[in-house]
Every structure is written in C-alpha cells, then in structure tokens.
Amino acid sequence: MTTTSDPGAVTRAPVPVPDADSAGFWESTRDGVLSIDRCTQCRRWQHPPLEACRHCGQPTRFEPVSGRGEVFSFIVVRQPTVPGHEPPYVVGLVELAEQSGIRLTGVVRAPVDAVHIGMPVEVRLMPVGGGEFRGPEFVPVSR
Ligand SMILES: [Zn+2]
C-alpha cells in the first residue's frame, strides 16, 4: 500500500496510490470487500501483497477475509494530523483472524482508554482520500 501526503499538513487527507501489487486490495475495498493476498499453491496469506508468494514463490491472488481480528499494537494520536480525525484517537495494528502475522493498520473507533492489546475488533471499510477508495477502520466486537 502506498500513500501520498504532505508532511505536517492537516489540510489534505492521504490518498492511496495503487501499484501493481496493491491494486487488487484497493479494487476489492472499493467494492466493500476486504481481500488479502493469498498464495494459490501453499494457501498462506501475505500482507503487504506481492505478485509471488514470499514462502514458496508461486502466484498469488486476492481473496476475501472475515475482517475479524484483534488489536496487536496501537498508538494514541493526540495531535491533529489527518482531516476528519479529531484527536485523541487510536490507530491500531490489527492481526486478522485468518493467520498469525497478517496485520492491517487502521483507526480503532473506540474510546481511547478502552483500547487494549488483544481487543477483538472487526473491520469497517470507510472512504479515504476523497471517497474514491475505502480503507480499513476497526470497531470493537464481543468474542
Ligand atoms: Zn506459497
């Protein structure tokens, strides 16, 4: 995943710039489906995506995932950096339920003091960069 941004600017949200490896991710999320790159041979998931499997070198393709996972790590953003996100808020690194080590970054829509490592969450695909693309955010769920 590649984004562009103006360092220090709060006047413009980052806009995804899909490349050959990430285009499938952005096309899928635009259609409201979270898909992750998966090996067609050994069936391992991988993220960030690549055209070939990091494990066995065989071709990969994007496949839908559950969107469920848990907070692996997080930070609390206390300064305004992105329009539409009023601090304080949490940016989490979420490990997906499909496979250990497959982690996505996104805002966790929960009170800052409620977020903790291991918190079960589920993805919501929200407009980013003016609405042409959708990116992952996460909301708490019960197990
Ligand atoms: Zn493989």
pLDDT tens for each residue of 43-57:
999 999 999 999 999
Structure tokens at 68: 């469920």
Please identify every residue whose CB atom is under 5 Å from ligand 1, which is an ion: 39, 41-42, 53, 55-56, 58
- Closest to 135 in 3D by CA, of 38, 50, 22, 30: 30
Q: How far is the CA of 60 from the centre of ligand 1 (A)?
A: 8
Rounded to whole angstroms, the Cα distance separating 74 from 77 reads 10
Structure tokens at 120: 């079960």
Q: How far is the CA of 23 from the centre of ligand 1 (A)?
A: 20
Q: How far is the CA of 50 from the centre of ligand 1 (A)?
A: 11
DSSP 88: S
pLDDT tens for each residue of 64-94:
999 999 999 999 999 988 877 899 999 999 9
Is 4's pLDDT higher than 70?
A: no
Output the pLDDT for position 83.
Answer: 79
At which residue do the structure tokens 């589920």 appear? Answer: 122
Q: Give the number of other Cβ atoms within 10 Å of residue 102's Cβ.
A: 19
> Are 38 and 142 in contact, with CB atoms under 8 Å apart?
no
Output the pLDDT for position 65.
Answer: 98
| Helices of type H across the chain | 23-30
Is 6's pLDDT higher than 60?
A: no
Q: How far is the CA of 99 from the centre of ligand 1 (A)?
A: 14
Q: What is the pTM of this model?
A: 0.88
Q: How far is the CA of 59 from the centre of ligand 1 (A)?
A: 8
Q: Please, what is the Cα angle at 67 between 61 and 68, to 5 degrees?
A: 130
pLDDT tens for each residue of 97-129:
999 999 999 999 999 999 999 999 999 999 887
Helix H or strand E segment including 4 = strand 3-4
Rounded to whole angstroms, the Cα distance separating 75 from 88 reads 10
